[in-house]
């Protein structure tokens, strides 16, 4: 089953903001998220078909940021569902506010009022979790729902999630069916710790985000840490790229490159040399073991020019 079409004004608003791939890429750049053509195209198609977009890639390539940037471009809320092992409908969709129900019962008792069960299972007693909030979003544009690290959730949850999103509605026995008036724009991310269900792959568009090319990474770094010289950004991008090719457990992502630049700038470093790397290595490699690997290979190696 394909997701319901975004109809009426919501679709019109999205179409107006994002008439083509180039405009989307420009607007994403406007919120400092730089995309290559592959990512821009998959995001555009996902928005306009519409179909959920599954993003995969190494940690730190900007999967989560993509959803944030999309929400910023559409000027709509980002609703994030962080997945973890054992996550269930109560955490993702809704649950009843038991403490509040109990309190109401006590108050009613004390005041001698009669309380019906229906009173206790109404909207006021519902705790709305991210999926319900995304379905209930009133517009004018659809919310962006980020289902982050879906590979951490269990198989069953994945199936539940996809079904719910395909229908864009949920039935709460005590209340009835809630149908989304503006079905959310859905971005899922996975770190590939396990294979996803075929159903997910069938229903989603897919894009693998690679590390940015060094040229693009320089651009990203300079956008995110204003005032960074091109020379320093180039040195950092090259050093980070060498770290990714090395034998570290957790290769630095774009976020780490940005952290590193921020640390270097804080220390007033304008040129990367072995001494500067030595002082700041912890800001780019978060594991002690990884720092050892890089030190053992020689910090000079990281900062040599050319390749």
Partner 1 sequence: MVTDFGVETIVLDLPPLVGALSRRLRDAGVETMPARAADLAHALALVKPISRRRLYWTARAVLVSDPAQVPVFDAVFWAIFGERRDDGE
Nearest residue (CB) to partner 1, 145 versus 209: 209
Q: Which residue has the tokens 């030190």?
A: 295
Considering only residues 48, 68, 179, 244, which one is a binding residue for partner 1 as defined by CB under 8 A? 48
Residue 199 CA to residue 185 CA, distance in Å, equals 18
Q: At its nearest, how many Å lie between partner 1 and the CB of residue 193?
A: 14
Cβ of residue 42: shortest distance to partner 1, in angstroms?
A: 4
Question: 281 CB contacts (<8 Å, ≥6 apart)?
Answer: 291, 294, 295, 299
How far is residue 123 from each of residues 118, 120, 138, measured CA to CA in Å? 10, 9, 16
- 18: its two tokens: 């994002």
H/E segment holding residue 65: helix 63-74
Stretch that binds partner 1, among 47-55, 119-127, 142-150, 158-166 (CB under 8 A): 47-55
Euclidean distance between CA atoms 83 and 77, whole angstroms:
19
Asked if residues 203 and 166 have their Cβ atoms less than 8 Å apart, the reply is yes
Q: How far is the CB of 8 from partner 1 (least distance, A)?
A: 18
Q: Terminus-to-terminus CA distance in the chain, angstroms?
A: 50
Residue 193 touches partner 1, criterion: CB under 8 A:
no
- Exactly one of 20, 88, 155, 273 binds partner 1 (CB under 8 A); which one? 20
CA-nearest of 210, 189, 197 to 78 is 189
Applying CB under 8 A, which part among 52-60, 95-103, 128-136, 274-282 lies near partner 1?
52-60
Which one of residues 11, 31, 45, 175 is an interface residue with partner 1 (CB under 8 A)? Answer: 45
- Considering only residues 16, 26, 249, 301, which one is a binding residue for partner 1 as defined by CB under 8 A? 26
How many residues bind to partner 1 according to rule CB under 8 A?
Answer: 29
Question: Tokens standing for 167?
Answer: 């229908």
- Give the contact letters, 233-272, x = binds to partner 1 (CB under 8 A), - = no: ----------------------------------------
**Residue ranges that bind partner 1, judged by CB under 8 A:** 2, 20-22, 25-26, 36-38, 41-42, 44-46, 48-49, 51, 53-54, 56, 201-202, 204-208, 213, 216
């Amino acid at each position: 089953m394909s997701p319901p079409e975004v109809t009426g004004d919501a679709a019109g608003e999205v179409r107006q903001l994002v008439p083509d791939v180039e405009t989307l890429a420009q607007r994403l750049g406007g919120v400092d998220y730089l995309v290559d053509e592959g990512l821009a195209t998959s995001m555009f198609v996902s928005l306009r078909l519409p179909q959920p977009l599954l993003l995969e890639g190494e940690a730190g390539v900007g999967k989560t940021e993509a959803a944030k940037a999309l929400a910023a471009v559409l000027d709509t809320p980002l609703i994030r569902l962080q997945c973890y092992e054992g996550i269930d409908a109560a955490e993702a969709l809704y649950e009843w506010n038991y403490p509040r129900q109990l309190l109401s019962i006590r108050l009613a008792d004390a005041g001698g009022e009669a309380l019906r069960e229906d009173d206790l299972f109404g909207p006021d007693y519902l705790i709305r979790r991210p999926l319900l909030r995304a379905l209930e979003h009133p517009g004018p544009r659809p919310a962006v729902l980020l289902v982050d690290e879906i590979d951490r959730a269990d198989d069953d949850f994945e199936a539940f999630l996809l079904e719910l999103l395909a229908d864009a509605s949920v039935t709460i026995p005590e209340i009835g069916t809630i149908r989304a008036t503006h079905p959310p724009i859905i971005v899922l991310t996975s770190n590939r710790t396990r294979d996803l269900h075929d159903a997910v792959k069938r229903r989603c568009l897919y894009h693998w985000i690679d590390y940015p090319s060094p040229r693009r990474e320089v651009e990203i770094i300079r956008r995110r840490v204003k005032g960074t010289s091109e020379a320093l950004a180039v040195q950092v991008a090259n050093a980070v790229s060498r770290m990714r090719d090395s034998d570290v457990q957790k290769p630095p992502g774009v976020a780490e490159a940005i952290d590193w630049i921020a640390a270097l700038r804080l220390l007033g470093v304008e040129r990367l040399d072995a001494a500067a790397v030595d002082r700041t290595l912890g800001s780019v490699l978060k594991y002690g073991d990884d720092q050892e690997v890089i030190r053992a290979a020689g910090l000079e190696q990281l900062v040599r020019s050319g390749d």
